[in-house]
């Protein structure tokens, strides 16, 4: 009897999940993912990490793609923690009510013959924080090709992008640095701070065509540059889309620096620079751009103008 009890206890210990696990470029997914016996990939470590736990990187390495279905943090801020995604999504968030933090990651779409689909695909969850990350070169065809895509079908997703660089995403006319496009009754509350969106097909796009829910986007101290189409876009054909731009720069985009289209699209802009674009400010189909009157809108082929008197 005592032998059987010991055997059961040993078995339970073998399958116990740790609150903190580790990956290494020379690890092995057969390991327990401890500091002294790390795993090789994020996918290998996540099954051995408890809900609400954390995965850290010991040293630089490529740790692959991963699907996240529980609350967790992946943090590799002080080393090179990268994931190469060829013909797949880099990271998928898909768990009811989960809170996910991604910090210090380099998510690469492999800009070769087999490009990745989306850097981060948010399908379901309560919140996502993307902090100090690089997301680049996801060029999968429609409806893919986004650095981050938010397409929850219910509830309100809370997404925060901080201190990140999102570049080179999309192909042809499809894709964006971040595409916020919930479906069904889904909504989104998105904040973007101190981040750069460069050379994406579109910098930041919020689109309510497929949802009756509301989309609220606040962008502060950030830049959208070098897009073959537009910098910041609000499309309000479905539920309301409300975008606040504060101390942003939209520059050298071939299309429009700031675009609001659709009766339910409102953009408020203050203390910002819009220059070097095909058109600076553009409102269409009853969309509105509301200015605080303290912006620098000049040097565009067509500067355009706000659609309402200055806000106070």
Does the structure show a pLDDT above 90 at 258? Answer: yes
Amino acid 5: pLDDT: 43
Amino acid 15: pLDDT: 52
On whether the CB atoms of residues 81 and 105 are closer than 8 A, the answer is yes
Alpha helices by DSSP H, listed for the chain, are 2-15, 42-46
Average pLDDT, rounded, for the chain: 93
On whether the CB atoms of residues 232 and 243 are closer than 8 A, the answer is yes
pLDDT band at 11 (very low <50, low <70, confident <90, very high): very low
pLDDT in tens, 194-233: 999 999 999 999 999 999 999 999 999 999 999 999 999 9
For residue 132, CA distances in Å to 129, 144, 160 come to 10, 23, 11
In 3D space, the residue among 221, 265, 219 whose CA is nearest the CA of residue 244 turns out to be 219
pTM of the model: 0.94
On whether the CB atoms of residues 48 and 39 are closer than 8 A, the answer is yes
**Cα–Cα distance for residue pair 8/19, rounded to 1 Å:** 22
On whether the CB atoms of residues 120 and 149 are closer than 8 A, the answer is yes
User: Residue 258: is it exposed, middle or buried by C-beta count within 10 angstroms (0-12/13-18/19+)?
Assistant: buried
**Cα–Cα distance for residue pair 291/268, rounded to 1 Å:** 6
């Amino acid at each position: 009897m005592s032998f059987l009890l010991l055997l059961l206890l040993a078995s339970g210990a073998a399958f116990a999940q740790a609150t903190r696990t580790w990956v290494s470029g020379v690890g092995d997914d057969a390991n327990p993912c401890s500091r002294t016996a790390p795993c090789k990939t994020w996918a290998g470590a996540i099954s051995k990490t408890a809900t609400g736990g954390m995965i850290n990187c010991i040293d630089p390495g490529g740790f692959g793609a991963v699907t996240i279905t529980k609350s967790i943090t992946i943090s590799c801020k002080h080393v090179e923690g990268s994931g190469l995604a060829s013909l797949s999504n880099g990271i998928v968030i898909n768990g009811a009510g989960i809170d996910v933090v991604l910090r210090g990651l380099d998510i690469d779409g492999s800009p070769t013959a087999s490009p990745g689909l989306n850097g981060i695909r948010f399908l379901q969850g309560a919140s996502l924080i993307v902090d100090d990350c690089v997301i680049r070169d996801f060029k999968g065809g429609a409806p893919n090709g986004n650095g981050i895509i938010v397409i929850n079908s219910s509830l309100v997703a809370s997404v925060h992008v901080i201190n990140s660089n999102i570049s080179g995403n999309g192909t042809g006319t499809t894709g964006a640095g971040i595409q916020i496009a919930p479906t069904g009754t889904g909504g989104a509350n998105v904040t973007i701070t101190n981040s750069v969106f460069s050379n994406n097909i579109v910098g930041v796009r919020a689109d309510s065509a497929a949802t009756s829910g509301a989309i609220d986007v606040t962008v502060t101290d950030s830049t959208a540059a070098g897009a073959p189409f537009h910098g910041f876009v609000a499309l309000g054909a479905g539920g309301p889309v409300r975008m606040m731009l504060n101390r942003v720069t939209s520059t050298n985009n071939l299309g429009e620096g700031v675009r609001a289209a659709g009766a339910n699209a409102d953009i408020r802009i203050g203390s910002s620079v819009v220059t070097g674009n095909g058109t600076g400010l553009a409102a269409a189909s009853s969309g509105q751009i509301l200015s605080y009157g303290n912006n620098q809108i000049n040097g565009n082929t067509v500067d355009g103008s706000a659609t309402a008197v200055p806000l106070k």
